Structure 1
Amino acid sequence: MDDLKIRELVKRLDTASVVEQEAAWTLLRPLGAGVVPFLADAYGSTKKAQGRVALIFHAIRFARDSEAAFELGIRALKDKATLVRYRACGVCAYSLRPDAIPHLEELLEHPDAKTAEDAVAAIDAIKRKNHHYFIDRSHSGTSFWTVNPEDSAV
Structure 2
Amino acid sequence: MDDLKIRELVKSLDTTSTGDQEAVWAQLRPLGVDVVPFLADAYGSTRKAKGRVALAFHAIRFARISQAAFELGIRALDDKATLVRYRACCICAYSLRADAIPHLRELLKHSDAKTVEDAAAAIDAIKRKNHHYFIDRSHSGMSFWTVNPEDSAR
- The TM-score, its normalising length taken from structure 1, stands at 0.99
CA distance in 1, matches of 2:93, 2:49: 21
**Amino acid of the structure 2 residue aligned with 1:108:** L
What do the CA deviations read for 1:93-148 (whole angstroms, capped 9, x no partner)?
Answer: 00000000000000001000000000000000000000000000001111100000
Structure 1 runs of 4+ off > 4 angstroms?
Answer: none
The within-5 A match list for 1:1-154 is 1-154=1-154
CA distance in 1, matches of 2:15, 2:139: 35
Give, in angstroms, the shift of residue 20 of structure 1: 0.2
CA distance in 2, matches of 1:45, 1:71: 16
Any gaps of 5 or more consecutive residues in structure 1?
A: none
For these two proteins, the number of residue pairs brought into alignment is 154
- The TM-score, its normalising length taken from structure 2, stands at 0.99
Fraction of identical pairs, as percent: 83
CA distance in 2, matches of 1:80, 1:119: 15
CA distance in 2, matches of 1:56, 1:62: 10
2:149 alignment partner, SS class:
coil
CA RMSD of aligned residues (A): 0.4
CA distance in 2, matches of 1:137, 1:13: 31
**Amino acid of the structure 2 residue aligned with 1:33:** V
Any gaps of 5 or more consecutive residues in structure 2?
A: none
CA distance in 2, matches of 1:109, 1:66: 28
